[in-house]
Amino acid sequence: MLPDESVLSIAALGKLVFGLLSVLAILGLLLWFLKFLQRKKLVFSGSGNDLKILQTTHLSPKQKLTVVNWQDTQYLIALTTDGGFLLDKKPIKIVDKTKERAQG
């Protein structure tokens, strides 16, 4: 005995709806996870204004020197195809404008 045709179509429709809902649920979870990671990244990245590239000088098509400020330190970095190399670093002196006005 074969089930009639209407039962097969209802079963097929049920599988189709279940598959569609499964795909939508997976996409929703993926979207939620990406937003979660984005919020975590923003929490740990700080203000985002700590790193500044001050100057870049190209020595050749594959080599350059870059001066970078990060936090309270200035770095001189050589960038090549083999990677980046720290050449020098120095602390940045933060000048208080109110003390200068009081002294001068």
Write out the two tokens for 99: 């003390």
Cβ atoms within 10 A of the Cβ of 63, count? 13
Q: For the chain, what are the domain ranges?
A: 1-45, 51-99
Can you count the helices (H) and strands (E) in the chain? 2, 4
Give pLDDT tens digits along the chain (104 positions).
Answer: 555 666 668 888 889 999 999 999 999 999 999 888 887 765 444 555 678 899 999 999 999 999 999 888 999 999 999 999 999 999 988 766 666 566 65
Whether the CB-CB separation of 70 and 51 falls below 8 Å is answered with: yes
Tell which residue, 79, 36, 83, has the closest CA to residue 58. Answer: 79
Q: Is the pTM of this model over 0.85?
A: no
Beta strands in the chain (DSSP E): 51-60, 63-70, 73-80, 83-91
